[in-house]
Amino acid sequence: MAATSVKEVILTEARRIAQAHGYSGMNFRELADRVGIKPASIYHHFASKADLGAAVAKRYWEDAVANLEAIHAEEEDPRAALQRYPEVFRRSLESENRLCLGSFMSAEHDDLPKVVMNEVHAFADVNVAWLSRMLVSAKIVSSTVAAEARARAIFASITGAQLMARSRSDIGLFDSLVDAYREAGLLPA
């Protein structure tokens, strides 16, 4: 395996572990077993667990940006893009009942190195920025201040719905909560 592909496999497997067990559950021995390398070989690509955690979280928010921009590109109407927003979080539940990495790591706030927490904050920030932009474009809110407040509420609600659904291994619960958010007017119907 080429060094670049080993690094990519490490990032992919570390993400899967972190989405199931959080940052604290990222164990180099387990990770190395999944990748098929020796645990010490991980240090060739990442100097520390904090560096690995930061790289995983950064890749996660970069992927989130790409997913959100893909939704925006597919939907001419910003309201339609907003309606599709929950699907980004639903995909994690569809993948072995995984939790959003940003949510999981946010819950570990007290135990995260600063470099990792900075990337976790970036995940929330890119979600709120995208939601704010869509809310203004859809003329659902009239100011950027109102858009940001509403975007934060949407982000918190969707991540909360995901957390509840995961704790019960019930993706239908996620869907019903999203429907309730639409009925209440938080998300466009």
What's the pLDDT score for residue 137? 96
Considering the domain boundaries, does residue 170 fall inside one? Answer: yes
Give the CATH number of the domain where residue 169 resides.
1.10.357.10
Q: What is the pLDDT of residue 8?
A: 94
Please check whether residue 149 lies inside any domain of the structure: yes
- Give the pLDDT confidence score for residue 4 in this predicted structure: 64
Residue 23 inside a domain? The answer is: no
Using CB atoms within 10 A of its CB, is residue 139 exposed (0-12), middle (13-18) or buried (19+)? exposed
Number of independent structural domains in the chain? 1
- 34: in domain: no
How much is the pLDDT for 1?
A: 56
Domain assignment of residue 107, given as a range: 54-184
Q: Is 37 part of any domain?
A: no
Q: Are 2 and 8 in contact (CB under 8 A)?
A: no
- In the chain (189 residues long), the average pLDDT of successive 10-residue segments reads 80 93 92 94 94 96 96 96 96 89 88 95 97 97 95 97 96 98 94
Question: Is residue 36 included in any domain, yes or no?
Answer: no
CA-based Rg of the chain, rounded to a whole angstrom?
A: 18
Query: Per the domain annotation, does 118 fall within a domain?
Result: yes
**The pLDDT value given to residue 189:** 85
pLDDT value of residue 66: 96
Residue 122 maps to a domain: yes
Angle at 60 between CA 188 and CA 163, to 5 degrees: 55
**How many CB atoms are located within 10 Å of the residue 88 CB?**
19
By the 10 Å C-beta count (0-12 exposed, 13-18 middle, 19+ buried), 55 is classed as buried
